[in-house]
Amino acid sequence: MTSLSMGAMSMDAVSVIRTKRDRGEFSDEQIDWVIDAYTRGDVADYQMAALNMAILLNGMNRREISRWTAAMIASGERMDFSSLSRPTADKHSTGGVGDKITLPLAPLVAACGAAVPQLSGRGLGHTGGTLDKLESIKGWRAALSNEEMLSVLDSVGAVICAAGDGLAPADKKLYALRDVTGTVEAIPLIASSIMSKKIAEGTGSLVLDVKVGTGAFMKTIEDARELAATMVGLGTDHGVKTVALLTDMSTPLGLTAGNALEVRESVEVLAGGGPADVVELTLALAREMLAAAGVRDADPAKALADGSAMDAWRRMISAQGGDPDAPLPTSKEQHVVKAGASGVLTRLDAYDIGVAAWRLGAGRARKDDPVQAAAGVELHAKPGDTVTEGQRLLTLHTDTPERFEYALRAIEDSYDVAASGTAFTAAPVVLERIA
C-alpha cells in the first residue's frame, strides 16, 4: 500500500510500522488511518502483521490503546438499548475450563432487575464457547437480528446470542490475523479486541472475569492484573462503568467441562444446587453487575433460592426457540479414570482437563470444525477431597471411542494424590477486584 492510494502523501503503512518498531508513540491520526485502511483492505495482512508484532514487542500507552479501541468501534455499528426500561449490565470472561458461568448468570441478573445483552462466541481449542454449550439445547438459536435481540431483552431481561457482522468488523479481521501470526498475547491488542466489541454492544456497565492459572490465557497474576487494569481503563475512557474480578483457573470450574454437560450443571445451579465454586462465582459476578447497573435492592442468592432465576432461564431459552424441557444429549461412550492411590487430591490441572475435553470432541482446532454436544470430562473429585484407590476420579464422554486413547494421554500427569492427612488449602475463587 502506498500513500498515493489514499489520495494524499501524509500517511502510509510503512511509516506507521516504523513508528512502533522504533518505540515511538502513535498519533491519533495514524491509529485512525491504519484501522480504517486495514478494514477496507487498503493495508495488506502482511503489513498489519508486522505492525501487530511491533505492538507486541514495544507496547502502547493508555492513550494509544484507547484511541485504537475507539477506531475499532468506529469501524462498524454501535447498538443502543436506551429504549429499555431496565439498566443494562454485561459480563465478559477471558475463558477457562468448565467456565459455564454466563448460563446461570444472565437469567439470574435479569431476575434481579437489570437487562443483560450478552453477545457471546464459539470456542476455539479447549472446550466449546457459550454458544456451543447452548446449542446443545433442542431448537435454541444463536443468530438473532438486532430487533429480535432487543425484543427478547425487553420481554425477558436477558439474551445470549451471537454478535452480528456489523459490530467492530475491524476486530474480526485483526483477531484472525493475530491468531496465525503469533501476536495473540499482546495485552494492548487483547484488551482493545475485547473492549471494542463490548463498548460497541451498547451496555451501560460491564463486569470482567479475568481468569488466572494453568487453564487460563493469563498464567500469572501479574499478567492478569495488567490486562484487567487495561480493560477497566478502556471502559472508563469510553463511558462504560467497568469492574474486573481476577478469578482462579488452576483447577476446572465446577464438575464438568464440555457442552451439554455444562448446561446440565448450570441448570442445577439455577435450581438452587450445583457445585459450590460455580455458585460462589455466579453470585459474586451477579452482585458486581447489579451494583454497576445501580440495582441496589435485589439479592441474587434469594433469586436462586426462590426459583425466579430459573423462571428467567426458561423464558430466555424459549424466546430463542429452545425447549427448556428437552433432554440434553448424552454421549454414546464413556471411560472411567480411577484413582491410582488413596489420599488427598492436591492437584487437578485445568489445562490438561481442557485438552482432554477438546480431544474428546467438545472443542475445535479450526473455527469451522463441528463439536460434539455430549463430549467432555466429568469430575468426581476436586482438590482437597479424600479419595481411595480405585475410586472414580474422572469420566470421559464422547460419541467416538477412538478418541479415548488420545484424551487419556492429556491427563496422564494431570492430578496428584498426597498421603492421607496432608494439609491442603484451596485457592479462593475470587483473587482480586480491580475497579
In a domain, 339, yes or no: yes
Residue 5 pLDDT exceeds 50: no
Residue 148 pLDDT exceeds 60: yes
Q: What is the pTM of this model?
A: 0.92
Residue in the block written with cell 485457592: 427
| Structural domains counted in the chain | 3
Question: 102 and 232: one domain?
Answer: yes
List pLDDT tens digits, range 388-403.
999 999 999 999 999 9
CATH number at residue 403: 3.90.1170.30
Residue in the block written with cell 475410586: 391
Residue 126 has a pLDDT of 64
Residue 2 pLDDT exceeds 60: no
> Cβ(394)–Cβ(379) under 8 Å?
yes
Longest C-alpha distance within the chain, in Å?
A: 75
> Domain range spanning residue 212?
90-163+198-319
Catalytic residue among 66, 120, 136, 193: 193
Closest CA to 155 of 207, 254, 206, 86: 86
CATH number at residue 14: 1.20.970.10
Residue 11 pLDDT exceeds 60: yes
Separation between Cα atoms, residue 349 and residue 362, nearest integer Å: 18
- Name the domain boundary from 285, 319, 353: 319
Residue 238 pLDDT exceeds 50: yes
Assess whether 193 carries a catalytic annotation. Answer: yes
> Which residue has better confidence, 379 or 122?
379
Question: 243 and 365: one domain?
Answer: no
Question: 367 and 310: one domain?
Answer: no
Question: 293 and 363: one domain?
Answer: no
Cell of 174: 485483526
Question: 137 and 260: one domain?
Answer: yes
Catalytic residue among 20, 86, 92, 241: 92
Mean pLDDT of the chain: 94
> Cβ(119)–Cβ(102) under 8 Å?
no
Separation between Cα atoms, residue 327 and residue 307, nearest integer Å: 20
Cell of 86: 431496565
Question: 368 and 392: one domain?
Answer: yes
Q: Which residues of 362-395 are buried (b: 16+ CB within 10 A; e: fewer)?
A: bbbeeeeeebbbbbbbbbbbbbeeebeeeeebbb
Closest CA to 119 of 156, 96, 93, 151: 93
Residue in the block written with cell 490438561: 352
Residue 179 banded pLDDT, cuts 50, 70, 90: confident
- Name the domain boundary from 256, 287, 319: 319
In a domain, 259, yes or no: yes
228 phi/psi in degrees, rounded to 5: -60, -45
Separation between Cα atoms, residue 296 and residue 302, nearest integer Å: 14
Question: 11 and 138: one domain?
Answer: no
CATH number at residue 257: 3.40.1030.10
Report which DSSP code applies to 61.
-
Question: 228 and 308: one domain?
Answer: yes
In a domain, 325, yes or no: no
CA angle at 317 for the pair 361 and 430, rounded to the nearest 5°: 70
Q: Which residues contact 84 (CB under 8 A, 6 or more apart)?
A: 115, 150, 153, 154
* Count of residues making up the chain: 435
The DSSP line for 12-29 is -HHHHHHHHHTT----HH
In a domain, 72, yes or no: no
Residue 124 has a pLDDT of 56
Catalytic residue among 91, 133, 172, 197: 197
Residue 406 pLDDT exceeds 50: yes
Separation between Cα atoms, residue 51 and residue 57, nearest integer Å: 10
CA 225 vs CA 187, 188, 209, 222, 247: distances in Å: 11, 13, 11, 5, 11
Range in 118-127, 299-308, 345-354 with the lowest mean pLDDT: 118-127
Residue 22 has a pLDDT of 98
Question: 242 and 284: one domain?
Answer: yes
Cell of 249: 483457573
Read off the pLDDT of each residue in 122-126 and give the average, rounded to a whole number: 63
Closest CA to 254 of 281, 221, 222, 277: 277
Residue 1 has a pLDDT of 40
Separation between Cα atoms, residue 140 and residue 345, nearest integer Å: 38
Question: 150 and 55: one domain?
Answer: no
Question: 103 and 34: one domain?
Answer: no
β-bridge partners, 119:
161
In a domain, 327, yes or no: no
Residue 86 pLDDT exceeds 60: yes
Assess whether 366 carries a catalytic annotation. Answer: no
- Name the domain boundary from 319, 351, 381: 319
> Cβ(239)–Cβ(155) under 8 Å?
no
Assess whether 382 carries a catalytic annotation. Answer: no
Q: Kindly tell me the burial class for residue 82, based on how many C-beta atoms sit within 10 Å of its own C-beta (0-12, 13-18, 19 or more).
A: exposed
In a domain, 432, yes or no: no
Residue 99 pLDDT exceeds 70: yes
Question: 123 and 245: one domain?
Answer: yes
CA-based radius of gyration for the chain: 22
Read off the pLDDT of each residue in 280-308 and give the average, rounded to a whole number: 97
In a domain, 38, yes or no: yes
β-bridge partners, 205:
241
Assess whether 197 carries a catalytic annotation. Answer: yes
Separation between Cα atoms, residue 95 and residue 40, nearest integer Å: 30
In a domain, 189, yes or no: no
